[in-house]
Amino acid sequence: MQKELVQVDIDLSDLVPGFLARKRDDLRAIMDAVPKNDYQVITRLAHRLKGEGGSYGFDRMTQLGRVMEEAAQNRDSAAVSRLAEELLKWLDRVEVVYQPSEA
């Protein structure tokens, strides 16, 4: 499995491990919500992935969260499941590289 390097501001180094763990939890909650057709939960969590990903420097998370939110709004459970799996696999490949702050 090829690692994907993501550069993150070193000031966030204490927060990133917990953040990534919470995003995995969010993805599991999304996958649990799919068979229940709970699109309200899926939309809310996908929206959070979209917004928070970029805040921490995880642009791919933001991209997939955006598409997942649209899929939830369209009630496309197959797309939501596929995107959640894709994002989980991406998280498995991510290697965070901390960079000094740009002041």
For residue range 27-68, list pLDDT tens digits in order.
999 999 999 999 999 999 999 999 999 999 999 999 999 999
Whole-prediction pTM: 0.92
Please name which of 98, 103, 102, 101 lies closest in space to residue 16, comparing C-alpha atoms. Answer: 98
Alpha-carbon distances of 39 from 53, 57, 99, rounded to whole Å: 20, 27, 37
pLDDT at 45 (0 to 100):
98
